[in-house]
Structure 1
Amino acid sequence: MTQTVLLALDTSTEFCSAALVSASADAVGQSAAEARVWVRHEQTGAVSSTRLLPAIRELFDEARLALADCDAIAFGAGPGSFTGLRTATGVAQGLAFGLNLPVVPIGTLLVCAESARLRDPSTTRVLAALDARMDEIYWADYAWDDAQREWRTVRPASLDAPGRLVLPDVPFTLAGNAAAAFGERLPAVAAARSVDGEALPHALPLAYAALRAFHAGRTVRADQAAPEYVRDKVAQTTAERMADKAARSVNAAKADHAAEQSAPRTSDGASGRRSADEARR
């Protein structure tokens, strides 16, 4: 029976995660128990880039396989840490280009849904929500299609404030770390059938989702692989900061002028100046 060998990488969070999976085509979309798996999932913080390649080498040594045995390379495309997304994308591109292999980008929010279903096979509707920092949430809504043995995207990956998530109108599982990060500020917590805070980006559920995508032909060439940031940026540019500072200075000057104009005047103008100073204070 022909085996599909797939390497999956995720560095979208503070974890460096890599998984090597070998599964028959018949097992894809069926029980995860049918696959042989090797995993490295380590909390590395900001140094995933230094740990990822050694972890990959360890996986192949443990499995007694070579990179040349791979049929495809998958990576967590995002959203997530900008630096982490670029790390996984770059490594997947480099390995795939050298081996002339297809690349399988998988969204990290879909990975959360896949993880929730692996942990509870009765899960068929998932609102995946991850803390995006800056008081915002990355989120998406997925429904499991049992006939197709695949997730259907109800609402694609978005970035919103906690109260702006659109809740499913059927019982759902809230997956990801947003519940822990925002608590009662996140209405989805109270509305969910269950909350799975452990259903997070991880290379193993990523690999299972990628196996199905690979056999369905949802792959790209190495040079087409790209992160899915969702958020356009995490900080203002220098020009934006300077413009913002200039705007604040202009507004402050206008406020000073308005306060001085509205202050009562004396014959020598002294009390008017005092009133303007007091108004500014």
Structure 2
Amino acid sequence: MNYLALDASTEACSVALQVNGKSFSRYELCPQSHSLQLLPMIDAVLNEAQIKLVDLDGLIFGQGPGSFTGVRIGVGVAQGLAFSANLPVVGVSSLQAMAQMAYIKNGQTQVIAAIDARMAEVYNAYFVLDQDNIMQAQQAEAVTQPDLLAQHLEGVVSTPFYAVGTGWDAYAEKLSGILSSLRVNEASPDILFPSAEAMLVIGQNKFAQGQGVSAENAQPVYVRDTVSWKKLPGK
């Protein structure tokens, strides 16, 4: 089966393509320029693989959480491409993709993913490898204040875990003592952003389980549904 995966949910922009057992990918850190980079990256991997969009079996997209604008760009591009080629789609969590990459790169099977969500919060979830070698969330993805993360994960995490995501560096002081006795990698995480390569693995599994939907049903997952603005002093 031939699939294309794309993601624009964070500062990283990436695409990955699997065609006849071969993989092609692009990855770039390009904050605030995803709308300019994503389509050319998709064209590049399709041309490299010498395949057309209509020859694919499905499309996989990063559904969030992450940047509101980035998530919307990714979902919008996915819908447009899927409509044009009449392809089914599946969404993949950006947090799950980072956890999956920790398994792919480092063989880690228990991971806490935490992305800086701004507004002094982190998007987070705890993942454990399942029987299909896919990292699965052990509770609903959430947005949490860093100093409350340990409380949020209490009773869920009881064994050594691997940390991934920008949240661990962005709120290093507040997170330094959280579950420190269980954290495997004390230094800055080597996986800071999600990648389409990991989404490709997860998405294929979802398609195999019959979770593909039509383009019109491609939905973002913001986790934080609203943004509240605090009035600055003197304003």
The reply to whether TM is greater than 0.5 is yes
Equivalence map 1:113-262=2 (5 Å): 113-121=99-107, 123-145=108-130, 147-165=131-149, 166=153, 168-186=157-175, 187-188=177-178, 190=180, 191-194=182-185, 197-199=189-191, 200-236=193-229
Superposed displacement of residue 198, structure 1: 2.8
Partner-residue secondary structure (3-state), 1:46: coil
Residue 12 of structure 1 pairs with residue 12 of structure 2: no
Structure 2 Cα separation of the partners of residues 188 and 6 of structure 1: 39
Match of 2:59 among 49, 64, 73: 73
Percent of pairs identical after alignment? 36
Identify if the C-alpha distance between structure 1 residues 113 and 188 changes in structure 2 by more than 3 Å, giving closer, same or farther. Answer: farther
Q: TM-score w.r.t. structure 2 length?
A: 0.89
Displacement of 1:192 after TM fit?
0.8
Deviations 1:54-95 (A, max 9, x none): 111111111111111111111110000111101110111111
Secondary structure of the residue aligned to 1:155 is coil
**Cα distance between partner residues in 1 of 2:15 and 2:121:** 27
The residue aligned with 1:274 is none
Q: Counterpart of 1:20 in 2: which secondary structure?
A: strand
Structure 1 unmatched runs, 5+: 24-34, 249-281
Cα distance 1:20–1:148, how it changes in 2: closer, same or farther (>3 A)? closer
SS at match of 2:45: helix
8 Å CA contact 1:177–1:198 kept in 2: the answer is no
Where 1:65 maps in the other structure, the secondary structure is: coil
Alignment gaps of 5+ in structure 2: none
CA distance in 1, matches of 2:172, 2:159: 21
Amino acid at match of 1:234: V
Cα distance change, pair 70–178 in 1 and its aligned pair in 2 (3 A): same
Aligned partners of 1:112 and 1:96: how far apart in 2?
A: 24
CA separation in 2, counterparts of 1:8 and 1:20? 6
Q: Distance in 2 between matches of 1:232 and 1:206?
A: 23
Q: How does 1:17-28 map to 2 (within 5 A)?
A: 17-22=14-19
Using CA pairs under 8 Å that are at least 6 residues apart, name the structure with larger relative contact order, 1 or 2: 2
Structure 1 position 37 matched with structure 2 position 26: no
TM-score (norm 1): 0.75
Q: Is the 8 A contact 1:183 1:189 kept in 2?
A: no
Matching residue of 1:266? none
Shift of 1:189: 6.3
> Counterpart of 1:174 in structure 2: which amino acid?
A
SS in 1 for 2:123: strand
Tell me the secondary structure at the aligned position of residue 51 of structure 1. helix
Decide whether the 8 Å contact of 1:139 with 1:157 is kept in 2.
yes
8 Å contact from structure 1 (residues 72, 101) kept in 2: yes
Count of matched residue pairs: 226
RMSD of equivalent CA atoms: 2.2
Equivalent residue for 1:28?
A: none
| Deviation larger for 176-185 or 126-135 | 176-185
Distance (whole Å) between structure 2 residues aligned to residue 62 and residue 7 of structure 1: 13
Q: What amino acid does structure 2 have at the position aligned with 1:5? A: N
